[in-house]
Amino acid sequence: MPCPDCTCAGAAAVCVPASAGALAGLAGSRRLRALRLPRRMLLLAWLLKAALPGNGAEGALLRGQVVAERTGRPLPSRVYINGEDGKWYFPRPAAAEGSAVRYEKRNWANTNAVEMHTTLSAHPFEIELPPGRYTVTVERGKEYVAQARRVELRQEPVDLKFELHRWIDMAERGWYSGDTHVHRALDELPNLMLAEDLNVSFPLLYWVTEAFQPPAASDRSARGPAPSDAVKVDDTHVIIPRNTEYEIFTVSGQRHTLGAVFVLNHKSVFEQGAPPVGPVAAQAHREGALLDLDKHDWPWSMALVPVMGVDLYELANNHVWRTEFAFTNWSTPAPAYMALPNQGQGGTELDWVVYGLENYYALLNCGFRLRPTAGTANGVHPVPLGFSRVYVYLEKGFSADGWIKGLGEGRSFVTTGPMLMTTVNKAPPGQVFRQDSKPQTYRVDGVAIHERPLDKIEIIVNGEVAAAINPRNKLTPAGAYESKFAEALRLEQSCWVAARCFEPPAAGKARFAHTGPWHVEVAGKPLLPKRAEAEFLVQRVADQIQRSAGVLPAAAIAEYRQALAVFQDIANKAR
């Protein structure tokens, strides 16, 4: 029988685990006793068990359970245990049938940006901790109020019960959540999704970072073929397993970052490398997959939109976290017309979100009807699964196929906190209205709900604030803050309409929600972008042609030139 964390495959007469963590994990076990190690090694194992953070040490037993406040039903959850010395600890299930997944991430750009938690199944948890003071925090996705307790441990066991209060039930209203940017193993996701109450996840089991390499050949891809069908966790939680990320950092062995695009829910295993990206896009569309644009500031991102026919734009992306913001310097500067600080080179989390919104608006104004989505890159970044998430409206109840169809049609909103449910003329986001050349009035009705008061609600038309709404923040029976709104828009030309809301800004953080757009097509009055928007897109692509000349093959440069011609044509018609 192979030993944990060792290469002896059980053949050695005396096995010494390869890491301190493995040795500590064996301390006190029957397997370690059976190995008949010298007493000095046994002592070392016990000392390591006591010293390693998160493994617990001889001291008091902390036990906890997490239940729903109203029903007392046990709940899966995400648990943080932080000692007053700054160390993090990771509990285990108290029941043999329970499960726990430990998550430890610290960002390289900002080492204060950390995510140290355990996701636990709906069973009690426990951990042995040295005497001292601790903060235990329990959270569950977006729809429950987090609870934190300060506890002092001496020698006797301590029992904690967390009764989580649900401030909104989005499924009852027909909205179901997803995360389209996930880097976790299939066997971890049932635990994670239930702990976060995330209905749909898209693990990027194929992930290539070298130009021209087939995804299945990448050492970042999962071993073996990903399942082709949805994996059911339960009736309202599913994993869509066959997804590919092309995230190109090197070209012919040399560092030359291009960026990332995802192919979601494809049917076959892709054999194409990239660039060029045209063959990838063609196969994706044939198979009914969705193309998801990762961050807007990646070097190649704007060129991908016209060349690939991208479907989705990560409006709430993987740089917005529960912890501190890290990426204060951006890959591509924002243009002057966006009026962002530091000459558009970087800024706070709020600045980053505004940059993403304005870039999205520029694409919409240029006629690219991308639908919004949200992703975390949980598994890579210090952020919980589903911290940024997209909610899709399903009138007839949940199904995996229905959710993916709704995402592709734009019947959605993205959020990092608030809930924003809006209709235009009683239609959900994604609706296309057609009118003759006469002006017409449209009614926008909605409600923004959050566990904290909101700062502002805005109706956006073609990227401009058409109505600024002062939130009422009326307390609901569930203890949330609700702001209903109703606005009339008189529209005379082709446009798009969306709604957004924000929490009050705090230390540069951005907690917001944003609907997918509604489109209005007016006969003889086409949508025209501002000249600055179109010229921004032209310049983005022109810069990349110059940067990649002599690095990328002719076929890839030809795609850049194709994108440039599209944007130049749009710029010639701009207002």
Q: What is the pLDDT of residue 508?
A: 78
Extract the tokens encoding 537: 């897109």
What CATH code is carried by the domain that includes residue 319?
A: 3.20.20.140
**265, 372: one domain:** yes
Q: What is the pLDDT of residue 505?
A: 86
Q: Is 50 exceeded by the pLDDT of residue 283? A: yes
Cα torsion for 429, 434, 435, 439, to the nearest 10°?
A: 30
Angle (deg, nearest 10), helices 531-548 and 349-365: 100
**521, 536: one domain:** no
**19, 31: one domain:** yes
Q: What is the pLDDT of residue 47?
A: 42
Q: Is 561 helix (H, G, I), strand (E, B) or coil?
A: helix
Write out pLDDT tens, residues 52-66.
444 444 689 999 999
166 within 8 A of 68, measured Cβ to Cβ? yes
The secondary structure of residue 172, as a DSSP letter, is G
Q: Label residue 223 by pLDDT band (50, 70, 90).
A: confident
Write out pLDDT tens, residues 78-119.
999 999 999 999 999 999 999 999 999 999 999 999 999 999
Q: What is the pLDDT of residue 58?
A: 63
Q: What is the pLDDT of residue 460?
A: 98
Give the residue from 115, 141, 164 where a domain finishes. Answer: 164
**67, 8: one domain:** no
Domain count across the chain: 5
Look at phi and psi of residue 138 and say left if phi exceeds 0, alpha if psi is from -120 to 50, else beta.
beta
Q: Label residue 127 by pLDDT band (50, 70, 90).
A: very high
What does the pLDDT average to over 259-286?
A: 97
Amino acid of residue 213: Q
Look at phi and psi of residue 430 and say left if phi exceeds 0, alpha if psi is from -120 to 50, else beta.
left
Q: Label residue 43 by pLDDT band (50, 70, 90).
A: very low
Q: What is the pLDDT of residue 54?
A: 43
**367, 471: one domain:** no
Please list, in sequence order, all residues whose beta carbon lies within 8 angstroms of the beta carbon of residue 86, skipping any fewer than 6 positions away. Answer: none
Spell out a b/e string for 383-404, using b for 16 or more CB atoms within 10 Å of the CB, else e.
bbbbbbbbbbbbeeebbbebbb
pLDDT more than 70, % of the chain: 90
**202, 329: one domain:** yes
Edge-to-edge strand order for the sheet containing 440-450? 419-424, 440-450, 481-491, 474-475
**133, 268: one domain:** no
What are the CA-CA distances from residue 17 to residues 20, 34, 35, 286 (Å)? 7, 14, 11, 50
Write out pLDDT tens, residues 368-397.
999 999 999 999 999 999 999 999 999 999
What does the pLDDT average to over 228-235?
A: 96
Q: Which of 171, 124, 118, 121 is closest to 391 using CA atoms? A: 171
- Which residue do the tokens 């010639």 mark? 572
What does the pLDDT average to over 226-238?
A: 96
**Residue 132 parent element (H or E):** strand 132-139
255 within 8 A of 249, measured Cβ to Cβ? yes
- CA 74, CA 76: separation in Å to the nearest integer? 7
Q: What is the pLDDT of residue 427?
A: 98
**410, 432: one domain:** no
Q: Is 342 helix (H, G, I), strand (E, B) or coil?
A: helix
Give the residue from 371, 395, 416 where a domain finishes. Answer: 416
Taking residue 126's Cβ as centre, other Cβ atoms within 10 Å add up to 19
- Which residue do the tokens 């060029």 mark? 276
Q: Label residue 423 by pLDDT band (50, 70, 90).
A: very high
Q: Is 90 exceeded by the pLDDT of residue 33? A: no
User: Beta strands 512-515 and 495-502: pairing type?
Assistant: antiparallel
Cα torsion for 543, 546, 552, 555, to the nearest 10°?
A: 80
- Which residue do the tokens 């441990």 mark? 153
The secondary structure of residue 304, as a DSSP letter, is H
**215, 321: one domain:** yes
**320, 410: one domain:** yes
Q: Which of 287, 257, 282, 284 is closest to 559 using CA atoms? A: 282
**147, 70: one domain:** yes
What CATH code is carried by the domain that includes residue 504?
A: 2.60.40.10
Q: What is the pLDDT of residue 173?
A: 98
**403, 423: one domain:** no
Q: Which of 520, 448, 442 is closest to 488 using CA atoms? A: 442
Q: Label residue 300 by pLDDT band (50, 70, 90).
A: very high
Q: Is 50 exceeded by the pLDDT of residue 46? A: no
Write out pLDDT tens, residues 490-544.
999 999 999 999 999 887 788 999 999 999 999 999 999 999 999 999 999 999 9
| Backbone phi, psi, residue 259, to 5° | 135, -160
Extract the tokens encoding 377: 């890159």
Q: Is 90 exceeded by the pLDDT of residue 39? A: no
Q: Which domain holds residue 546?
A: 531-572
Please list, in sequence order, all residues whose beta carbon lies within 8 angstroms of the beta carbon of residue 128, skipping any fewer than 6 positions away. Answer: 56, 57, 58, 59, 60, 61, 62
Give the residue from 116, 147, 164 where a domain finishes. Answer: 164
Q: Is 60 exceeded by the pLDDT of residue 26? A: no
